């Protein structure tokens, strides 16, 4: 007796034959890649693999009357299609859809997760009506149908957004001939250009100023301006960041402090 199982576009799938007896599964026949395991000597399996389809034929020798109640089911393990969404670069507030399409038999169930969240949603499509920078990262679609192990696909989302500029201190006091440190923190993608401006002119490194920029994870940068304070260097300093999506700035004020040192156990500074 011959039973035929034909599949199309299935070269990437593993095919599994399962014997069902009285609603119970009996994995007495199994095909894994090019290896055939047959525990029942009365059964043989023939495989014909073509470019776009495959034919699997199970042959039962010396069929018995009790075999009439046996059902042989041809299963395909879940496989995610190459038509699924690949990694994306998008702008903030853009509408985004991730698609994950899988085949196999029984038809696989698809669900989504991230590294920090074991479950997001069920279904082929994961939607972001207005994507935010907090949504950037790796997403995993998982397809499973109970045939062997499940399969997964990683889709990375990179979100571009204009700069956001903040500072830990908006006012910094220091005495003449001492160093003042002004710091601004920038978050942006793509990476921004950062400049410091004083009285309408962009600052460059010289005997009075020294600028340092430090990159941090997750599209963040710190920029510090060291000022060797003189009487004429007090006032408002602007930290400005810009990229192709926009620009932002913040004002940090350097103000005067008079410090007493002589004949005192501790330095005392007074704002003036």
Contact 172/254 with Cβ under 8 angstroms? yes
DSSP β-bridge partners for residue 227: 180, 209
Per-residue pLDDT averaged across 128-139, rounded? 96
Which residue, 36, 16, 19, is CA-closest to 28?
Answer: 19
CA distance 49 to 158: 40
Q: Is the pLDDT of residue 1 over 70?
A: no
Distance between CA atoms of residues 258 and 264, nearest Å: 14
Q: What are the CA-CA distances from residue 257 to residues 227, 236, 263, 268 (Å)?
A: 14, 15, 19, 10
Q: Is the pLDDT of residue 151 over 60?
A: yes
pLDDT reported for residue 175 = 94
Contacts of 248 (CB under 8 A, 6+ apart): 162, 163, 164, 165, 186, 240, 241, 242
Statement: residue 213 has pLDDT above 50? yes
Q: Tell me the pLDDT band of 34, cut-offs 50, 70 and 90.
A: very low
Residue pLDDT, tens place only, 70-123: 666 777 889 999 999 999 999 999 999 999 999 998 899 999 999 988 899 999
Cα–Cα distance for residue pair 183/167, rounded to 1 Å: 6
**3-state class (DSSP) for residue 65:** helix
**pLDDT surpasses 80 at 197:** yes
- Per-residue pLDDT band at 246 (split at 50, 70, 90): very high
pLDDT level of residue 218 (50, 70, 90 thresholds): confident
Rounded to 5 degrees, φ, ψ at 6 are: -110, 140
Q: Which domains does the chain have, with CATH numbers?
A: 2-75 (no CATH), 88-161 (2.60.40.10), 167-256 (2.60.40.10)
Q: What is the mean pLDDT of the chain?
A: 82
| Lowest model confidence (mean pLDDT) among 25-29, 38-42, 190-194 | 25-29
């Amino acid at each position: 007796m011959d039973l035929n199982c034909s599949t199309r576009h299935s070269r990437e799938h593993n095919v599994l034959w399962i014997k069902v007896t009285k609603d119970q599964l009996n994995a007495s026949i199994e095909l894994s890649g090019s290896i055939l395991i047959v525990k029942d000597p009365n059964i043989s399996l023939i495989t014909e693999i073509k470019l776009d389809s495959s034919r699997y034929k199970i042959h039962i020798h010396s069929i018995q009357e009790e075999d009439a109640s046996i059902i042989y089911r041809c299963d395909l393990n879940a496989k995610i299609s190459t038509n699924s969404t690949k990694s994306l670069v998008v702008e903030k507030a853009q509408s985004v859809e991730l698609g994950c399409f899988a085949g196999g038999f029984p038809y696989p169930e698809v669900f989504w997760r991230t590294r920090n969240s074991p479950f997001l949603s069920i279904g082929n499509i994961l939607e972001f009506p207005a994507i935010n920078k907090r949504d950037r990262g790796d997403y995993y679609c998982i397809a499973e149908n109970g045939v062997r192990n499940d399969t997964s696909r990683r889709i990375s989302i990179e979100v571009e957004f204009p700069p956001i500029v903040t500072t830990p201190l908006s006012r910094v006091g220091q005495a003449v001939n001492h160093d003042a440190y002004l710091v601004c923190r920038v978050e942006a993608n793509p990476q921004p250009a950062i400049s410091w401006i004083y009285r309408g002119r962009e600052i460059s490194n010289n005997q009075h100023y020294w600028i340092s920029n430090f990159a941090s994870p997750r599209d963040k940068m710190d920029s510090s301006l060291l000022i060797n304070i003189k009487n004429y260097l007090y006032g408002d300093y602007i930290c400005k960041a810009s990229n192709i999506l926009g620009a932002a700035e913040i004002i940090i004020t350097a103000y005067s402090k008079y410090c007493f040192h002589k004949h005192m156990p501790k330095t005392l500074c007074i704002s003036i």
